[in-house]
Homo-oligomer: A and B are copies of this chain.
Amino acid sequence: MQVVCLDLEGVLIPEIWINVAERLGVADLRLTTRDIADYDELMQTRLRILAREGIKIGDISDTIRHMTPLSGACTFVDELQKLVPLVILSDTFVQFAGPLMRQLGNPTLFCNELVIDEAGSIHGYRLRQQDGKRRAVAAFHSMNLEVIAAGDSYNDVSMLNEANSAAFFRAPKDIAAQFPQFPRLENYEQLLDFIREQIGR
């Protein structure tokens, strides 16, 4: 039996932090792992910016509620789930993903969590685990599941490497060029075709 593991941001929904930065008008919240490679350092920087600006979870939720999944993503998820089990593996936070996941029909998502106090201030975050995408694929293997994976960036590469078959989806050219073993797919039709080929349907 197979399972499909997909990244969330950039594959099914837009980049959340970038959208939040734009909608709240806080330029330095646009920083990503391309600017600060160390994830914990990046998150601590983001948390300091949120505290500096007095931004609470409600402000962020309000902006996320105005976001929609990428064009065609809802239909793609529907079609995919008719064919094969889906688990989304993401580095986002459960408190961010909620409104967008509802629009996608609430497929199964394993991600991280923000630590939020009763007043809505964000004090920290809890990683599900280090190297969580790769370890999830390994855990699916221990369930005797074949894993088909797709993602768009560096933080997906260990997942793609661990999977039985894998592809980039809308990956930046420079990243895709470093890992030529993965086909570079650009639209949901191609991704669905790739998955159909792997499951023989």
Residues of A within 8 A of B (CB): 1, 3, 78, 81-82, 85-87, 94, 102, 105-113, 128-129, 132, 135-136, 138-140, 142-145
Contacts and interface: CB of A to CB of B under 8 A. Distances in A.
Contacts of A145: 110, 128
A143 B110 contact: yes
Contacts of A87: 87, 108
Tell me the interface secondary structure of chain A in the complex: mixed
Contact of A132 (B113, B135, B143): B143
B142 A110 contact: no
Contacts of A1: 94, 110-113, 128
Given A1-B111, A86-B108, 9 more contacts: A78-B106, A82-B106, A85-B110, A87-B108, A110-B143, A129-B144, A135-B142, A136-B143, A138-B142
Contacts of A3: 108, 110
A30 to B, nearest CB: 27
A1 to B, nearest CB: 5
Most chain B beta carbons < 10 A, residue from A106, A132, A138: A106
B105 A85 contact: no
Nearest to A79: B106
A87 B107 CA distance: 10
Nearest to A129: B144
Contacts of A85: 108-110
Contact of A107 (B108, B109, B113, B135): B108
A120 to B, nearest CB: 16
A110 B94 CA distance: 23
Contacts of A86: 108
A112 B1 CA distance: 7
Most chain B beta carbons < 10 A, residue from A107, A108, A111: A108
